[in-house]
Every structure is written in C-alpha cells, then in structure tokens.
Amino acid sequence: MERYEYGIIGGGPAGYTAGMCLAKNGHSVILFEKDKLGGTCLNRGCIPTKSFLHSSEIYAQIMTSDKIGVHIDDFSFDFSKVVEKKDTTVERVRKSLELAVKNSGVKTVYAKACIKDKNTILTESEEYKVDNIIIASGSKPKELSGLKFDGEFILSSDDILNIKELPKSVLIIGSGAIGLEWARIFSNFGVEVSIVEAAEHLLPLADTEVSKRVERIFKQKKVKFYLQNTVSEIKGRTVILKTGEEISPDFVLSAVGREPVKPDCPCETILGDACGEIQLAHYAIHQAQQFASKVPFDKNLTPSVIYGEPEIAWAGLREQDIDESYKKVMLPVTALGKAWCDDATDGFIKLIIKDNLIYGAHIVSKEASSLIHTVLAFMQNKIKIEDIKQICFAHPTYSEGIFDILAGL
C-alpha cells in the first residue's frame, strides 16, 4: 500500500492550496474531495455570485444608459442565459483548477473521507496511509431557529444559486457580504428587495461610516431595510417581524453567515473555514501557504470586499476601534475626475492614521477591491506617509485619491 506524507480532507481554497504548496516543496500528497474541487468559493459562493452580479450590473447600466447619451431602444432579457453564463464560468474555472492540481503532483480522490486514526484515512472502498492529516472541510450555511431551509420558500446561500427564474420580491435576512451582494443582484434586475438586520446598521462588521453610506445608497435604490429587527414568525408565506411589520416575498434568503464543518475526530491541523476563524477564501489560501510553505501573513490585515456598484473594501482598524490618539482623513469620490467620467461619484476613501503611518483603510468606490491592496502594501510594510507622497500616481485614476487624501497632511 502506497503511503503519503500528507492526506488532506477537503478540496476548497485551503485544501488545494496546501496540497499544491506541499507538493511543490517535494512532499507526497493525497487530497480527498467528496464533491468538486474549488469548495464553496468556486462552486457555491464567490465565483457564481460574481457572475450573477456582473450580468445584473450590465442590465442596470442599459436601463439607465440614456443619461449618458447611449440610447438602446430594443433589448431583451433572458434569465436562463444569465444562469447558463454562471454555470459555464464555474465549470471553466474549475477545469483550470483541476489541471493545476493534477500538474502539481497532488493525487486527488473524489470520495467522502473519514479519519480512522492519525495515520489512516478511509473512503467507502479504500484505506489510505498517511504521515500527517490536514482537515480543510470548509463550512455550511448557518441555519436560524425557526428558519429551516426548505429549498422553496426559505433558501440558503447554496440554494439561491439554483434559482431558474427571478422572483418579483425577496426578503433577505442578514446584511453581510452574502446578503448585500444578493440585494444588489436582485435590485439591479428590478426585483423588490427587503433586508432584515439584527444589528444597528447594515454591514455591521464594517466601519460605521461605511455602513451609513451603504444605507444611503440602498435608500436611493429603493431597497427596504429593517434594522435592529428579526423574524418573529412565518405564517404561510407571510413573514412577521419582531416590530410587527408583515412582508410577503416570493421567497426568503437567509444569509446570516456560515458555520464550520469538521469531522468529529482529533486533528492538529485544521485550515480554512473549518478552523472557525476568518471565513474568506483569500484568508484560507494564505493560511494554507503559511502552513505549507512558511510564508507568513498578518491575519489582522485580511481585506474584506463587498462587490457591486460601488464596491466596498476595508482593512485594519475601524473608527469604532480607535481612541483620540488616531486621526481619520477622508476624501469624497466626487473629488476625482475619473469618477465623474465614469458616472460613479458615490463614495469616499477614508484612512485612519497615527504617527505618520496608516492603520486602517475604508473605501466605498468603483475599483475599491483593487485600491485596498495599494493601501495594504503601505500598511503591512509600515511605509511612512511622507514616503508615500513621493510616489507618482497617474491621473485621472481612482488610485490618485490615495495620494490626494495624504497630500494635505
């Protein structure tokens, strides 16, 4: 019986990254995946959601194109093609990943695996000997009491990807990344959207000014939201909130986060969502690289991104985390010529600074998902503001907003 140095359970970002890194470093690796490589991110999360979002944004832009001088009098909308494009995108990305894993030298076994002991992994038909076991079994949608997923009226973030036609109205419970991105998708397509959030603000993990700006944007888009509220009960297809409001959507999307999936057995190495820390694909990837290739990273500088128009991104300290020794500086996106050219003037760049260094960045803007990494490079490498000012930022760009915000200091 062939023996492997590492046996990995789970083929998501943490599992396949650890496997490829270990193989690159000369170790023999076997990877077990019960479904498809790519995990939640590729198959039931990031990638399919962003495909839906892209289609919805194009539709929304066409609907308002008259104001920029582009007149489209006759166009059609076929949601089945949107779904087809999503499926094709996922399949293409997955095939590329499968080839990369194969070429790395990792052996992949498509089967449900369980741990017999610290050196033995079992599938339904085989037994495999390994020197070390890594659990990267991911996460699953969190289910609230009284809101049991039924795949018809109460949907999970997995279920929502299987819809074949658009609803006329939807109620979304939770306003984290999943809830907000689906609110944007549905709103772009003209669906009536309502959001229920238990916290004081939408996107409660973000900086408070970011949350307030999101609320303003959603009001402009006529997305209804009910803050500091929860679902009291459901009668038939009517949802009754704690504060007494009644909502009768076509279905409910429960998007209150995900919870770790871990085998009920001891294991020293648990990576990715299964470890119960930051449930983001890029966190899982860097956590796996740190384990397998000893590449360090600062988890406190893990960026968060909400996609859509405008994008939202942040990293580091938030305003609610700091005391008077810190200073906040802001630049409205309206100060940028590129924003006016793109008709994308809603948002701001906000930095939290102290002792000539940046400790937090919060961006609501087109291209925020790219801009945040520029600031992260400054933060992680502790580059002083006076040195940043010496960088020549191109004009007109969104990134020059980073220079502009610091130039006056």
CA gap 367, 308 in Å, rounded: 10
CA gap 189, 233 in Å, rounded: 28
User: What is the predicted pLDDT for the residue at 2?
Assistant: 84
Question: In degrees, to the nearest 5, what angle opens at C-alpha 400 toward C-alphas 397 and 406?
Answer: 165
Residues in a beta bridge with 357: 354
For residue 67, CA distances in Å to 58, 64, 71, 72, 169 come to: 15, 6, 9, 11, 27
C-alpha torsion sign, points 248, 202, 205, 230: negative
Which string of DSSP letters, residue by residue, matches 174-226?
--SHHHHHHHHHHHHTT-EEEEEESSSSSSTTS-HHHHHHHHHHHHHTT-EEE
Question: Beta 304-306 vs 348-354: how paired, if at all?
Answer: unpaired
Nearest CA among 161, 117, 178, 114 for reference residue 308? 178
C-beta contacts of 16-19 below 8 A and 24+ residues apart? 16/97, 16/101, 16/106, 17/284, 17/285, 17/288, 17/289, 17/292, 18/134, 18/136, 18/271, 18/288, 18/289, 18/291, 18/292, 19/101, 19/104, 19/106
Provide the token pair at 164: 């074949």
Which string of DSSP letters, residue by residue, matches 304-350?
EEE-SSSEEEEEE--GGG--TTSEEEEEEGGG-HHHHHTT----EEE
Instruction: Report the run of H or E that residue 19 belongs to, with start and end.
Output: helix 13-24
What is the crossing angle of helices 281-293 and 13-24, to 10°? 30
User: What is the predicted pLDDT for the residue at 400?
Assistant: 97
- Domains of the chain (ranges; CATH) run 3-140+258-293 (3.50.50.60), 154-254 (3.50.50.60), 303-407 (3.30.390.30)
What's the pLDDT tens digit per position in 257-293? 999 997 777 778 999 999 999 999 999 999 999 999 9
Nearest CA among 303, 256, 261, 295 for reference residue 278? 303
Do 203 and 320 meet the contact criterion of CB atoms below 8 Å apart? Answer: no
CA gap 81, 65 in Å, rounded: 22
User: What is the predicted pLDDT for the residue at 178?
Assistant: 97
User: What is the predicted pLDDT for the residue at 369?
Assistant: 98
Question: In degrees, to the nearest 5, what angle opens at C-alpha 335 toward C-alphas 71 and 345?
Answer: 35
Provide the token pair at 255: 């998007």
Nearest CA among 120, 104, 100, 135 for reference residue 25? 104
What's the pLDDT tens digit per position in 71-110? 998 888 899 999 999 999 999 999 999 999 999 999 999 9
Do 161 and 44 meet the contact criterion of CB atoms below 8 Å apart? Answer: yes
User: What is the predicted pLDDT for the residue at 93?
Assistant: 98
CA gap 279, 287 in Å, rounded: 11
Per-block mean pLDDT, blocks of 10 residues, the chain (409 long): 92 98 98 96 96 96 91 89 97 98 97 92 93 96 93 96 96 97 98 98 97 97 97 95 97 96 81 94 97 95 97 97 96 98 97 98 98 98 97 97 94
CA gap 17, 160 in Å, rounded: 27
